[in-house]
Chain A
Amino acid sequence: KNEVEQSPQNLTAQEGEFITINCSYSVGISALHWLQQHPGGGIVSLFMLSSGKKKHGRLIATINIQEKHSSLHITASHPRDSAVYICAVADYGGSQGNLIFGKGTKLSVKP
């Protein structure tokens, strides 16, 4: 079993829809990251969180430490949101850079 599981693997949505991507992990963590990988391959860090909720524009990330679960929400989705969204955790016993990555959720937003 992978230490970081994401669902769904693939997601197709219509422009304007509310989107949720889920991430579950099995290790104790010091932080959880949400990343966005563009079709061209570049990676952007969206959020780093260890508790509660963070919001940036149309993106919201939440984490429940007790349940070892995080969600990434996109409101009013747009075709430019099409990308692979990756959840990664920093194991509590490891170094801050030693991230364990999920396999990613490929999102396609249709106009």
Chain B
Amino acid sequence: NAGVMQNPRHLVRRRGQEARLRCSPMKGHSHVYWYRQLPEEGLKFMVYLQKENIIDESGMPKERFSAEFPKEGPSILRIQQVVRGDSAAYFCASSPETESQPQHFGDGTRLSIL
């Protein structure tokens, strides 16, 4: 039973390019969460999605960032026109349908902006 799969593990982009981060939740999990960990800082919530729905995006920057979790395929976190400050580790987690279940985390994507 594979865990939460994130790819790529490392992503390097130049300023102004687009970054796409992918997350495949654990089998049977329909809730996906994205978190960001800036260098030397703690984790911060970004967005919570269920299949085809954004439940809570209160942690997402208002511009350049978007997330989706389509009916088929992985969840995608998309960052347009990246800037140096976007350099961070981005973690995805998933949990089953029912609430009050712990989240399972992926190994993260380390995004570096040149």
Task: Select from chain A the residue with minimum beta-carbon distance to B110.
Answer: A41
Contacts of B33 in A (CB 8 A): 97, 99
Label chain B's interface by main secondary structure.
strand
Q: Are B102 and A97 in contact (CB under 8 A)?
A: no
Given contacts A41-B108, A86-B42, A103-B42, contact A97 B101 (CB under 8 A): no
The complex places the Cα of A35 from the Cα of B59 at a distance, in Å, of 20
Extra pairs beyond A47-B102, A96-B31, A99-B35 (13, CB < 8 Å): A41-B108, A41-B110, A42-B108, A45-B93, A95-B55, A96-B95, A96-B100, A97-B31, A97-B45, A97-B56, A97-B93, A97-B103, A98-B56
A sample of 7 inter-chain contacts (CB < 8 A) reads: A42-B105, A44-B105, A45-B93, A45-B104, A86-B43, A99-B35, A99-B45
